[in-house]
Amino acid sequence: MDIPRRIAILAHPQVAAAPAEAQRIAEFLAPKVEEVTYGLLYDADLRARVGSGEFEAVIALGGDGTMLRAGHLCAPSNTPILGINLGKFGFLFEIGLDDLPRRLDDLMRGAYWLEVRMMLNCTHWREGKKLGEWDALNEVVVSRGAIVRPVHLITEVDSRYLTTYVADGLVAATPTGSTAYALAAGGPILPPELRNILLVPVAPHLSIDRPIVLAEGASVRITVRTDHQAVASVDGQPPIPLQTGDQIAAQAGSHNVSFIRFGDPDYFYRNLTPHMNRNPVTQSIRPSP
C-alpha cells in the first residue's frame, strides 16, 4: 500500500489520555512524513481540512464513538482511518496502545491493507418532501419517544410491503452496526465487508420478532403510524421528531469508510469472543467467589 505522507491525528476531548497520546504520535511521525497535524476531534479548522481531502490518512484516538465520528468525517473524501482504541469495547478497532509503536512502523512501510465498510444513506420524508438526509456507519433507528407505548412501523423493502411492526422500534443497520444496537436487540453479527442491510425489531408485540438480512442492494422504507411521540436517530445522534405518516428511507450509500488494518482479514472473528466477554458493567457487578 502507499505510504501516507500527510497525516492528521484526531483525539476525542472526553477521553483523558487521547490529547497527550496524539501529541506523542505526532512527534514520532514528524521526521518520517511531509506533514503531521494533531488536534481535537471537534476542532473546526482541522475538520475542514480533513473533510476537503488534504490528508492521506487520519489517526483517531478514543472509543467506538470516536470511530463513528471519524468515519462520518472521512468517508466523503475517502480518507483511510487508523483507530487507536482508548475506550471500553473497541469493536471497530484492531490495535491499542500496546501495539502502537510496531503498527506505526508498519504504516510507514506501507505494510497494511484497507477494510472498506458500507454506509447507509438515510432520508426523512413528510408528504413527499425530503426534510433531511444523513449517512450512517452503524444504523438508523425509528422508535417510540418518551411515552412507553409501541409505534406501528409499516416496512417496505424495494417498494414492496414486508410487514407492519408493532414495537418499541426498528433498527436498520449496516454490517458494522450489527455489533452495536442491533446486537443488543438480538440481531446476528454480520461480517464487516458485506453490503447488506439488517432489520431488527426492538421489543416487537405480536409482530415478526426475527431479524431479517436484506439482499445486497436492497432498500428499506419505514412509515410511522402513531398518535404519540416517535423519533428517528442516526448513529446515536440526537433524536429527530417524527409525525404520523413520516417516512425514513435507507439504502447503501455512495460513501464508504476505509479502516487501516494490519493483521489478516480473520481478525474480526478472532476478536468476537474477547469482545463479547469484556462488558465492563457486568464485570464490575459480578459477585465475589
pLDDT in tens, 83-110: 999 977 667 887 888 889 999 999 999 9
Do 6-112+262-278 and 119-254 agree at the fold level?
no
Distance CA 31, CA 90 (A): 30
pLDDT of residue 283: 45
pLDDT digits (tens, 9 = 90+) for 123-161: 999 999 999 999 999 999 999 999 999 999 999 999 999
pLDDT for res 284: 45
Is this prediction's pTM over 0.75? yes
pLDDT tens per residue across span 115-124: 999 999 999 9
CB burial string 47-65: b at 16+ within 10 A, e below:
bebbbeeebbbbbbbbbbb
Q: What is the pLDDT of residue 287?
A: 42
Q: Which of 21-30, 197-206, 219-228, 273-282 has the lowest mean pLDDT?
A: 273-282
**5, 10, 164, 177 from 64: Cα distances, Å:** 26, 13, 32, 11
Listed by start position, the domains of the chain span 6-112+262-278, 119-254
Per annotation, catalytic residue among 2, 43, 64, 168: 64
Return the pLDDT at 72: 97
φ, ψ of residue 219 to 5 degrees: the values are -120, 160
Q: 242: part of which helix (H) or strand (E)?
A: strand 240-242
Contact 28, 51 (CB under 8 A): no
- Kindly state the average pLDDT of the residues 184-194: 95
Res. 278: pLDDT tops 70: no
Q: Is 64 annotated as catalytic? A: yes
CATH class of 6-112+262-278: alpha beta
Strands 129-136 and 113-126: antiparallel
pLDDT at 279: 56
Number of helices (H), then strands (E), belonging to the chain: the values are 7, 17
Q: Are 138 and 236 in contact (CB under 8 A)?
A: yes
For the CA atoms of 187, 192, 196, 198, the dihedral, rounded to the nearest 10 degrees, stands at 20
The distance of Cα 221 from the centroid of its chain, to the nearest Å, equals 20
Q: Quick one: pLDDT band at residue 265, thresholds 50, 70, 90?
A: confident
Q: Which residue has the higher pLDDT, 282 or 77?
A: 77
CATH of 119-254, one of 2.60.200.30, 3.20.20.70, 2.60.40.1730, 2.60.120.890: 2.60.200.30
Q: What percent of the chain has pLDDT over 70?
A: 94
Is the pLDDT score of 281 beyond 60?
A: no
Separation of alpha carbons 63 and 12, rounded Å:
8
Most distant pair of Cα atoms in the chain: their distance: 63
- Can you tell me the mean pLDDT for 12-16? 91
